[in-house]
Amino acid sequence: MSLKSISRFVLDRAGWRIDGDPPPDPVIMMIAVPHTSNWDFPLMLLLTWATDVEPHFLMKKELFRGPAGPLFRWLGGVSVDRSSPRGVVDELVEKAGSSRQLSLVMAPEGTRSRKTYWKSGFYRIAQQADLGVCLGYCDAKNKRMGFGPVVHLTGDHKADMDVIREFYKDVQGVNPEKATPPLLREEEPAPAT
């Protein structure tokens, strides 16, 4: 049995339905929303494997220490030093620009607990590398997962995020109370001086 067949079998037995097709673009940013539990990562892995997407996930560098490091690299993990996020953005923009095939999967919530804002790294990387952003999701309430539309960012944070908010408005995570609303700090008006 192939990894694709096994993944489809596991998802089917667990009652999950896959909606939509992966984006045809060979180099793409995919956001994985919502990120409210430890189940999100294995579910997104199963989704990508079941649909022949070769994922590259950003993961905190601490996860690569010890024996788990080779496993996470095999799964498509990309080590991120959270103390230097700008360097990561530059590195990923460069990698996206020189790749023939790259599916970069990011969880813009950045953590499994509720925060005020999404992390804007996905937006900066996609805009600087001129990548479309595929709206990936795992809706635990309805046991549906898949690929939404590809959003081409305009640089107007509010307008772009309005499109993203509309798509995710009814998507519910495993722990819905931990979901961070789709809002970027960049959307907030600058304080008056």
Percent of the chain with pLDDT over 70: 90
The mean pLDDT of 112-116, rounded to a whole number, is 85
Residue 63 included in any domain: yes
User: Please, how many CA atoms are within 13 Å of residue 149, restricted to the half-sphere of its CB?
Assistant: 10
Residue 179 within a domain: no
Per the domain annotation, does 78 fall within a domain?
Answer: no
Per-residue DSSP letter, 179 = P
Is residue 127 within 8 Å of 29, Cβ to Cβ? no
Per the structure, how many domains does the chain have? 1
Residue 131 counted as domain residue: no
Domain that holds residue 59: 3-33+41-72+83-126+140-170
Query: Is residue 180 a part of any domain in this protein?
Result: no
Q: What is the DSSP string of 137-169?
A: EEETTTTEEEEEEEE---S-HHHHHHHHHHHHT
In a domain, 134, yes or no: no
Q: Is residue 175 part of a domain?
A: no
Residue 104 lies in a domain: yes
More confident residue, 95 or 140: 140
Query: What is the tens place of the pLDDT at every residue in 14-39?
Result: 999 999 999 888 888 999 999 889 89
Categorize the per-residue pLDDT at 86 as very low, low, confident or very high, splitting at 50, 70 and 90.
low
Q: Is residue 23 reached through a cis peptide bond, with omega within 30 degrees of 0 on the bond before it?
A: no
**Confidence at residue 189, expressed as pLDDT on a 0 to 100 scale:** 62
